[in-house]
């Protein structure tokens, strides 16, 4: 599967999980969205490094 699709789907999945967990913890409305974006961003930085490297490698190969 194309690395960009895998990375994007993983980011969306992390955002959805973050939204769900924070909703269960009691956050609502705008603060829920802001916190979910922040949490998913940090989580993706830590958890998706292999996927990010694959996307970078694929982009570099296409430019040559």
DSSP states of 5-57 as a string? HHHHHHHHHHHHHHHHHHHHTT--HHHHHHHHHHHHHHHHHHH-HHHHHHHHH
User: Which tokens in the block code for residue 19?
Assistant: 């939204």
The pTM assigned to this predicted structure is 0.87
Instruction: Note the pLDDT of residue 62.
Output: 80
Instruction: Note the pLDDT of residue 11.
Output: 97
10 Å CB burial of residue 29 (0-12, 13-18, 19+) is exposed
Q: In degrees, to the nearest 5, what angle opens at C-alpha 56 toward C-alphas 50 and 57?
A: 90
Give the model confidence (pLDDT) of 14-58 as tens digits.
999 999 999 999 999 999 999 999 999 999 999 999 999 999 998
């Amino acid at each position: 599967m194309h690395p960009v699709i895998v990375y994007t789907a993983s980011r969306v999945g992390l955002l959805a999980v973050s939204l769900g967990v924070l909703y269960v913890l009691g956050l609502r409305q705008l603060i829920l969205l802001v916190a979910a974006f922040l949490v998913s961003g940090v989580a993706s930085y830590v958890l998706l490094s292999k996927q990010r490297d694959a996307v970078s490698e694929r982009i570099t190969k296409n430019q040559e």
